[in-house]
Amino acid sequence: MATYNEGTREIAQEIEARLLENPDYSRRLGEFGFIELEETWGDETTILNTARVSTSNRRLRNLSDLTEKDKNLLFHLLSQHHGTPFETVYFRFRFIAPIFVLRQWVKHRISTWNEFSMRYRKPISAYYVPDEKALTVDGFPVLTPDQIERYADLMERIFAFYEAEYQESCRRIDQAASEGRLPGEKKDPAARNPYRARARELLRSAMPVSAYSDVYWTVNFRSLMNFFDLRTKENAQYEIREYALAARELFARKFPLLSELYEKSGSGPE
């Protein structure tokens, strides 16, 4: 594993803190991966009240008010794929995952996506290393330990390259500023140094897709079901499936009734 830069150490410490503070709704995945269900809006009553808006004045106020008839209606809505009522319940996840996982995840476009930016910060200096299960297909190891060692060595050199070249750019920028060839630092603490920023923008091009990134993902339940249906299947790529299964577990812990009916309706993992 590459030596963590300051920002990466802070993220690693934050992961540990969140695992302690919110253990029911956070999970570690691998050496640096992480997912947390931070917040939700709405519940089963929201779905039912939305569905009934054109047929009834009855409104549910609390989950404790649900009757068997209400649960049957909820199941009917799920099994018959009545989509829009399920768009009224929202989830906010935070996850830290390799960039190649993010490239698959972002295809689920009906959601809000806020990602760590290497324009403003140095990259997270951690990279994905596949575990034994990830390396094995039908019992056959597709990469050997020697290959993984060479892979890790390459990743180490890429991160070392970024750090060395960024420091060299900063040294040259600071020297030019001290000689009056560039303007000095602006007094506004929120203002970015445009020269350092451009160096980061250029050097991020060297970052591999195995590098980790940090994302806030806000999604409604209809879109979340689609994510579960596609990404928890046996034929989904191993790495994103691990995140999807973890997200599915956190959802089920938060909404046990909705989870039970969702499974019963025929959706969910095979």
Catalytic residue numbers, as ranges? 231
List, in sequence order, every residue forming a beta bridge with 41; answer none if it has no partner: 90
Neighbours of 97 (CB within 10 A): 24
Residue 71 Ramachandran class (φ > 0 left, ψ -120 to 50 alpha, else beta): alpha
**What residues form DSSP beta bridges with 127?**
211
Helix axes of 256-264 and 44-51: crossing angle, nearest 10 degrees: 60
Contact status, residue 217 vs residue 95, Cβ threshold 8 Å: yes
| H runs (alpha helix) in 56-144 | 68-79, 99-105, 132-135
Alpha-carbon 203 to chain mean position:
23
18: number of Cβ within 10 Å: 17
| Greatest CA separation for the chain | 78
Angle, vertex CA 24, rays to CA 21 and CA 27, nearest 5? 85
Return the amino acid letter for 27: R
- How far apart CA 11 and CA 125 sit, in angstroms, is 10
